Amino acid sequence: MASAETCPVCRTADIVCGKWTLLLVRDLAEGRSRFCELERSLAGISPRTLSLRLRALEDEGIVARHTFPEVPPRVEYALTEKGRALLPIIEDMRAYGEQWLGDGASGECAERVDAAAPASRGARSRSAPD
């Protein structure tokens, strides 16, 4: 059996299993967002936690921070290619939740990820779970 240091599942879980991580990736799937927009979309997250999660995702190469030389300064966050590679995981979690945990109705988060998912994932039928 692989150790936690060499197991790809363990290493991925270390990155994405933070409480707000996948929700941040889900929201950034729509495109660039400012800090205040992310804070509003993630009801209940504190500014400190949001800042720490964004910094951790930057350090992992999942999120890119773009600073604009304006007064007042403007900062936007966007998914990198590595971050966009997580979208199929989120889509699969949505499908699992619809099939096994919910009433089967697609919610707003499902539409958000579907809109940004790669063509191979976005082409899935939304009327019936896999």
Q: Delineate the domains of the chain, giving CATH numbers in brackets.
A: 18-121 (1.10.10.10)
**Element holding 34 (H helix, E strand):** strand 33-34
Query: Does residue 2 surpass a pLDDT of 60?
Result: yes
Q: What digits encode the pLDDT tens for the residues 5-40?
A: 889 999 999 988 988 999 999 999 999 999 999 999
Exposed, middle or buried, 19 (CB in 10 Å: 0-12/13-18/19+)?
Answer: exposed
Residues ≥6 apart with Cβ < 8 Å to 5: 11
Q: Say what percent of the chain tops pLDDT 90.
A: 65
Comparing 2-11, 36-45, 81-90, the range with the smallest average pLDDT is 2-11
Note the pTM of the prediction, 2 decimals: 0.75
